[in-house]
Amino acid sequence: MIEAWTWPTPNGHKLHIMLEETGLPYKVIPVDIRAGDQFRPEFLAITPNHRIPAIVDTEGPDGRPFKLFESGAILIYLAEKTGKFIPTDPVARYTCLQWLMFQMGGVGPMFGQYNHFANYAPEKIPYAIERYSNEVKRLYRVLNKRLSEAEYLAGSEYSIADIATFPWARNPQRRGVEIEEYPAVKRWLDAIAARPAVVRGLQVLADRASQAPLTEEQRSILFGTTQFAPR
Ligand SMILES: N[C@@H](CCC(=O)N[C@@H](CS)C(=O)NCC(=O)O)C(=O)O
């Protein structure tokens, strides 16, 4: 049984989709990051980084409970545990890991910074918005180039690289992007969105997702004194 400590955000959806794709038995433990659940002692005991997602595999590698955080590491772990969505051929395997790292180091952090400065920053800073907007578009261009030459990011097979990138690349309008400018990304997004396990994964905690403006308390939890208090 996988305990999924999670919330319906792009990083959370990577885990939800992977769990649905692999068919592993799992239990969702909601961590409401707007309410500050990420700072509760029981969650900090799993991840000192107080970010979702994190998992506990009640039957870990040595048969004992195993805790893991960082969505990329979790995807690799679950792929290796099930033998699914990570190629075994060395070239395809490292190509898969290359695109997974591209998501973890580029797409996630940069799209996140764009979202922060465009939608959450209390003042609109043109330099920051333009910098991250340019970077988001550059990353979409890189994805588009790759997906013009291969069906999926790792090559011919759907893999954890796609599972990691899809939740960030969908909803291009939220990233200030016109998807028609990236036709190969659009083709790939449509194909992945049609997968039944992806549809089910995106439903996990969907009733708790919110686009509502942040209250002052939520702002402190996510971006202010609560977030940055030493722990
Ligand atoms: N590199 C981490 C990033 C995780 C992350 O940033 N999670 C966000 C939600 S998408 C979070 O937990 N935010 C809570 C907070 O900022 O306090 C991963 O991929 O797991």
Which of 16, 52, 101, 114 best tests ligand 1's pocket when mutated (most atoms within 8 Å of CB)?
Answer: 52
Considering the domain architecture, whether residues 114 and 170 belong to the same structural domain is answered as yes
Mapped onto helix, strand or coil, the DSSP state of residue 15 is helix
Considering the domain architecture, whether residues 143 and 215 belong to the same structural domain is answered as no
Cα dist. 28→43, 82, 92, 205 in Å? 13, 19, 32, 9
Residues with Cβ within 8 Å of 92's Cβ and at least 6 positions away in sequence, in order, are 154, 155, 157
Distance CA 110, CA 55 (A): 24
Query: Which phi and psi (to 5°) does residue 205 adopt?
Result: 60, 20
Q: How far is the CA of 98 from the centre of ligand 1 (A)?
A: 21
Which of 17, 51, 225 best tests ligand 1's pocket when mutated (most atoms within 8 Å of CB)?
Answer: 51
Considering the domain architecture, whether residues 8 and 55 belong to the same structural domain is answered as yes
Could you tell me the pTM of the whole model? 0.98
What are residue 5's DSSP bridge partners? 29, 54
Radius of gyration of the CA atoms of the chain, in A: 18
103-137 burial: b if 16+ Cβ within 10 Å, else e: bbebbbebbebbbebbeeeeeeeeebbeebbebbb
Distance CA 23, CA 19 (A): 6
Find the CATH number of the domain harbouring 45. 3.40.30.10
Cβ(227) – ligand 1 distance below 6 Å:
yes
Mapped onto helix, strand or coil, the DSSP state of residue 59 is coil
Considering the domain architecture, whether residues 102 and 189 belong to the same structural domain is answered as yes
Nearest CA to ligand 1 atom 1: 70
Instruction: Count structural domains, the chain.
Output: 2
Residue type, 184: A
Per-residue pLDDT of the chain (231 residues; tens, 9 = 90+): 999 999 999 999 999 999 999 999 999 999 999 999 999 999 999 999 999 999 999 999 999 999 999 999 999 999 999 999 999 999 999 999 999 999 999 999 999 999 999 999 999 999 999 999 999 999 999 999 999 999 999 999 999 999 999 999 999 999 999 999 999 999 999 999 999 999 999 999 999 999 899 999 999 999 999 999 998
Number of other CB atoms surrounding residue 41 within 10 Å: 7
Spatial contact of 62 and 39, defined as CB atoms under 8 Å apart: no
Considering the domain architecture, whether residues 171 and 104 belong to the same structural domain is answered as yes
Considering the domain architecture, whether residues 97 and 164 belong to the same structural domain is answered as yes
What are residue 54's DSSP bridge partners? 5, 69
Considering the domain architecture, whether residues 190 and 104 belong to the same structural domain is answered as yes
Considering the domain architecture, whether residues 214 and 142 belong to the same structural domain is answered as no
Find the CATH number of the domain harbouring 139. 1.20.1050.10
For residue 47, what are the domain limits? 2-84+201-228
Considering the domain architecture, whether residues 42 and 109 belong to the same structural domain is answered as no
Q: How far is the CA of 91 from the centre of ligand 1 (A)?
A: 30
- pLDDT at 211 (0 to 100): 84
Outline where DSSP puts E strands in 18-177: 26-30, 54-57, 66-69
Considering the domain architecture, whether residues 219 and 167 belong to the same structural domain is answered as no
Considering the domain architecture, whether residues 24 and 56 belong to the same structural domain is answered as yes
Considering the domain architecture, whether residues 75 and 95 belong to the same structural domain is answered as no
